[in-house]
Structure 1
Amino acid sequence: MPHPVRRAALALVLALAVTGCGARVPPEGKGDGERASGGHYPVTVENCGEKRTFERAPRRVVTNDVGITEIMFALGLEDHMAGYVMPDDKGDLTAVPWKDGYRKTAWLSKQRITRELVLDARADLVFAGWNYGFDEGEGFTPAALRRLGVDSYVLSESCRNGRGKARGVMAPLDALYTDLRNLGKVFDVEERAETLVASFRARVAAAQAKAPKGADRPRVFLYDSGEDKPFTAGAFAGPHDIITRAGGDHIMKDLRDSWTAVGWETVVARDPEVIVINDYGDVSAEQKRAFLRSYEPLANVSAVREDRIVVLDYVDLVESPRNPAAVDSLAARLRAFGS
């Protein structure tokens, strides 16, 4: 942990830098179309309901978690990054399409992101999300960072929607496309962002064309973790669109939240025909599978009885550029179950 005097000095330097060239909330009447004559900047984007203007591209971004980090890598923005924070339970990072990004970028911590870490990295922007790093209980919020002179961009999947701490303001894949386009504008890589969005849409559409339809759509439940109560995905978390576009009927589609806990009685009553396990953390996918098979209340649930359990990686299921491939992969599994 850095010395308090050093933290204060860094905060002052960053505050001065951001005042001159970072993001700001635009004054009354300013819109997206007002840019510096003959140049790309300033640019304005809307992030979680707030319009924010950037006078230049951030140069020292710190990202939190794997999906958020890979959004930056997919846009080719590793040269704009000071580093990333994530646990080492996110799978093999050497075989992914963005492995060069991991090779070039500093892994700052395998623990949680903190204000001290951000200041030590001399960050000018933190890209994180609610429950993806931002947390009032820890005092790590966009408002707290702003007081230190550090800007934030909030993952759109995690936007608060005004119902307590419930999250989600748009369909999950739309959240991915929104962040790609927003960051494309902020970093002046709009063409690359549009190319990614077009390719992702095409891959999802191709998977949908072959996916089960109508009465053939199996009921699907996403199991993240938990034994007393299952942690799962609602309508605004990545698995909803992944399951739905892959040809499944997401049994928690009426849950107007992103990631949250439900009761096992609800799962039993809705009788999923397929269960998707989110593979990450200290409890392995095989341990989660063993629990589902051995938990007595689930004994007569169709997915458990027929052993129709699919495993997807964490980064496939949170907002990330791997979501379209996850749609493709799950669609193939659902077709196989129906054959």
Structure 2
Amino acid sequence: MLAIALLVSGCGNSSTSSTETGEAKSTTAATEAAATEAAETKPAESGESGSGMVSLENCGKTMEYPKPTEKLFANDGNIISIALAAGASDNLVAVSSLQRDKDILALKYGDVVDKLKVVAPKYPSLENIVAADPQVVFAGWGYGFSESKGLTPDTLKEKNIKTYLLSETCKQADGNRGTMPPWEALTHDITSIGAMTGHEEEAKAAVADIETRKKALEAAPKADKEPVAFLFDSASDTIFSSGSFGAPQAMMESAGVKNALSDVKDTWTKVSWERLASSDPDIIFFVDYPSQTYDEKVAALKA
């Protein structure tokens, strides 16, 4: 029998419909768990590179950032949560696209969330960012950065503003997003933001806590036969879902569930209705947030 589950965690991309091509989604809850292998990799490759600077690996490039970065701009709830997990709340000079995830983040970080300076309810404009006068902008492709909208790392470089890209959105050669396993991408970013803002110990503790809880999840009883699950974000003539580089892949894998799109080498992406039918899932996970309601998503599935 097909089981239907509901994901109520807030996801990224509050500025546009989730059915738009290339716009990213990422479950905020993903910041609360991480890969065991993270401790065995080189998540940040940080190193002092001169007076007041630190070298960090970001999307395959070695980048230099002010250390400590005292004025960090973060866009989107999941990215803000990474900065908070790294201990960088006092370093956040401004944030955007927080509203939908505010209550979820407050469950973990309390009054700290209320003190964040929100300069845009959805994704920021170039003017929003420049007015905040940050040293570094922490965003991603589909999470604020968009070539079609003219807001890119190169655009900000022209304004003498450095950027750190959400590792989940690093681009592959074919343009798809995702270049490392999602748990590794998460812990890499927590470690890097901690190093950038001078909170290495806080970041290290956050990663250790995530690893401990992930191990407990992996040790929990599992079904005799691994169930197959399909992540249903939203629907139109196609279905917006998540592949092997998205946060849902990591959560399902740790819980002993097979992602029906684990062979799709992308983060959040569109697939056909035929792909859903052919996957014959045991479970359908619905992501519960606008612009489609849960009832509308179920109705689309039944149509």
- State the TM-score, normalizing by the size of structure 1: 0.72
Contact 2:87-2:203 at 8 Å conserved across structures: no
Query: 1:287: Cα distance to partner?
Result: 2.8
Is 1:264 the counterpart of 2:273? The answer is yes
The answer for the alignment partner of 1:142 in structure 2 is 153
Larger strand fraction of residues: 2
Note if 1:193 corresponds to 2:207: no
Helix, strand or coil at the partner of 2:274? helix
1:104 deviation in Å? 1.4
What is the aligned counterpart of 1:223 among 229, 232, 245? 232
Residues 211 and 245, structure 1, Cα contact 8 Å, conserved in 2? no
Structure 1 residue 161: deviation in Å?
1.2
Q: Which secondary structure does the structure 1 equivalent of 2:160 belong to?
A: coil
Q: Which residue of 1 aligns with 2:262?
A: 253
**1:289-310 alpha-carbon deviations (Å, 9 max, x no partner):** 3432x22xxxxxxxxxxxxxxx
TM-fit CA distance, 1:49? 0.8
Q: 2:286 aligns with which of 277, 282, 297?
A: 277
> 1:160 corresponds to which letter in structure 2?
K
Aligned to 1:183: 193
Query: Which residue of structure 2 lines up, in the alignment, with residue 14 of structure 1?
Result: none
- The residue that corresponds to 1:117 in the other structure is 128
Equivalent pair of 2:96/2:118 in contact (CA under 8 Å): yes
Q: What amino acid does structure 1 have at the position aligned with 2:79?
A: I
Q: Give the aligned residue type for 2:240.
A: F
**Deviation of 1:91 (Å):** 6.3
In the other structure, the counterpart of 2:16 is none
Task: Supply the AA of the counterpart residue of 1:162.
Answer: A
Q: CA deviation at 1:76?
A: 2.3
If asked which structure has higher relative contact order (CA below 8 Å, sep 6+), I would say: 2
Query: What stretches of structure 2 of length at least 5 have no aligned partner?
Result: 1-44
Structure 1 runs not aligned, ≥5 long: 1-30, 296-339
Conserved 8 A contact 1:234-1:252: yes
What amino acid is the match of 1:170? M
Partner SS, residue 168 of structure 2:
helix
Amino acid corresponding to residue 268 of structure 1 in structure 2:
A
2:244 matched residue in structure 1: 235
CA distance in structure 2 between the aligned counterparts of 1:50 and 1:276, rounded to whole angstroms: 35
Runs of 4+ in structure 1 deviating by more than 6 angstroms, as ranges, are none
Q: Does 1:75 align with 2:86?
A: yes
One-letter amino acid of the structure 1 residue matched with residue 94 of structure 2? G
Distance (whole Å) between structure 1 residues aligned to residue 291 and residue 144 of structure 2? 19
Root mean square deviation, CA, Å: 1.9
CA contact (8 A) 2:170 2:177 kept: yes
> Which entry has the higher C-alpha Rg, 1 or 2?
1
CA distance in 2, matches of 1:179, 1:94: 18
Amino acid at match of 2:241: T
Is the counterpart of residue 106 in structure 1 residue 106 in structure 2?
no
Deviations 1:121-154 (A, max 9, x none): 1122111000001100001000110011111110
- Between Structure 1 and Structure 2, the one with more helix by share is 1
2:165 pairs with one of 144, 147, 154: 154
> How much has 1:109 moved relative to structure 2?
1.1
Q: How far does the alpha carbon of each residue in 1:203-247 deviate from its partner, in whole angstroms, 9 at most, with x for none?
A: 11101111425x521100111112310000010010111111111
Partner of 1:129: 140
Which one of the candidate residues 279, 286, 300 is aligned to 2:295? 286
Q: In percent, how many aligned pairs have the same letter?
A: 31
The answer to whether the 8 A contact 1:156-1:175 is kept is yes
